[in-house]
Amino acid sequence: MPLKKIIAMTMVRNDRFLPKWVEYYGRQLGMSHLRIFFDGEDQEIPPCCAGAVVEVLPKMQGDVVATDRQRARFMSARAAALMADEGADMVIATDADEFLVPDPALGLGLAEFLSRQPDRPCYSGLGVDVLQHLPTEGAADFSRPFLAQRHRGWLYSRYTKPSVITRPLTWGGGYHRVKGTDFHIVRHLYLFHFGGVDQESLRQISADATRVDNGWTRHQLKRQRALQRISRVRAIGWERGVRLARLLQSVCRPIFALNKPSTYGLRIVARIPERFSHTV
């Protein structure tokens, strides 16, 4: 089966995760299929972006909620243009700390896996929030694969995002939904989120004056509390956790957003299998 043309996009501002995002999606899709947008002309383009298509934009104004919405509108328009002008069959949009990974047991790369999917407007990977287990795991080494250092994932509906679209659609803020259509959780596809992979990094972000001014303090403190809570939850087997999380998220919808998944507060933490350890 011929591979579809798949382009991955992200927008960043002084983001520590960008080199890892570029390395992963560049390896999976090819560097020329990456689109990286820098939010603010005060930023320097790092060497890791060589070979990708890069654009430096005027800084978006407003707090974290307002800029999330601006970013979603901008990325939706760019995705539509990539389909119309460059012949993209699929466009992936994620934050720089989010990685779409097919189950390594299948022996398929991301491009081949997505190319085999039936035609749908959008696809979601099952969300896995990878958090540092404070009792047993030390600081994260960003030069090594995260999943060789972190072994528990919160199967969290917030990160079951419709990250992949196949036609012009409009993402909601944070890419948590697409407007006017439902999400589809693809079997054997996972969205690993690493925003809470390292407690010390969260503390540093919380102390960043620019982020404080933009309203990030509340968000980062929430992430630190999640680290504490999830560290106390007993982890269950991966296959059992995935089945339960997929079932709940396919059936349950919050009343205020019927095209978003939910587990209604149930915290499902699963042990991530060794086979994922060298993926991201």
Query: What local confidence, expressed as pLDDT, does residue 210 receive?
Result: 59
Q: Among 199, 195, 188, 196, which residue's Cα sits nearest to residue 276? A: 188
Percent over 90 (pLDDT), the chain = 77
Query: What local confidence, expressed as pLDDT, does residue 211 receive?
Result: 56
Q: Which residues contact 91 (CB under 8 A, 6 or more apart)?
A: 6, 7, 8, 9, 79, 82, 83, 164, 165
Give Dmax (Cα) for the chain.
51
User: Do β-strands 164-165 and 122-130 pair in parallel, antiparallel, or remain unpaired?
Assistant: antiparallel
DSSP state at residue 244: H
Q: Among 233, 72, 279, 239, which residue's Cα sits nearest to residue 165? A: 72
Asked if 123 contacts 184 with a C-beta cutoff of 8 angstroms, the reply is yes
Per-residue pLDDT tens over the stretch 114-155 = 999 999 999 999 999 999 999 999 999 999 999 999 999 999
15 pLDDT higher than 70: yes
Per-residue pLDDT tens over the stretch 176-210 = 999 988 889 999 999 999 999 999 888 876 665 55
Tell me which amino acid residue 258 is: L
Backbone φ/ψ region at 143: left (φ over 0), alpha (ψ -120 to 50), beta: alpha
Q: Which residues contact 100 (CB under 8 A, 6 or more apart)?
A: 92, 94, 110, 125, 163, 164, 189, 190, 191
CA distance 236 to 232: 13
Calculate the CA 118 to chain-centre distance: 22
